[in-house]
Structure 1
Amino acid sequence: MTSPADFRDQTNWFGGYYELAMEIGSSDDARIQAVLSALWSAADIHGCFGRTDREPEEQDPVPCTVGSLTEFGHLHGQVRLPTGHLVVCGCVAIRGGDESSDWLDFYVPVGALDQAGLA
């Protein structure tokens, strides 16, 4: 039986996302890092990984940094919902460059919520 917290079960990552998109402001790695660190801590996200084709115990964690976001494109972890279900989650930075704002987007995939019986 699959779990909504399984990285390798790609159905957990499908079906759209519930997102929290935060506008950071002008392009500034220090600002994004501060929000990323606060988000990971406040949400009590378990782990920080660069891949979804391996389970967390099958890969080395990556630093929860702007550098890791740049290298992997997304950071992934597991978050416990208020219902008690542990589900996969992720985060991506949308860099606006000099002309527009940077954003940090935290998401929980609908596929994982469906597996948990919440969608």
Structure 2
Amino acid sequence: MAGHARFAVVAGPDEHGIGEELEALGATVSRIEGVVSADALRAAGIADADYLVLTDADEATGIPVAKELNPSVTVVTYADRSLPEFVAGVADLAVDPALVTPDVVAEELTRDGDGLDGA
């Protein structure tokens, strides 16, 4: 059973359905469809987000921007490709969709306690 509601910004194409899985567990999800810029992050509500779930490694430059706008946001990449070296250390967790299903990631993000914050 999911814990208290979380707020996640899902950035990038969501072909694996992580956003839907989060919503099914009671999380509020805001989406960024295009470039993950400061303006797009602000418009999506990054200042209040618990998580930024990035599904496109090509938009990795948005990670440090998100951390600047909300230092407490946990950044989870859920992408088939690895992050570029220059941002790999800024993301809190990288998950390969081929290894972990979106429902498992969503459950971890929405459960009581630390969730993936403690990872």
Q: Same fold (TM over 0.5)?
A: no
Tell me: higher relative CO, structure 1 or 2? Use CA pairs within 8 A at least 6 residues apart.
Answer: 1
Structure holding more strand per residue: 1
Rg comparison, structure with higher value: 1
- TM (normalized to structure 2)? 0.27
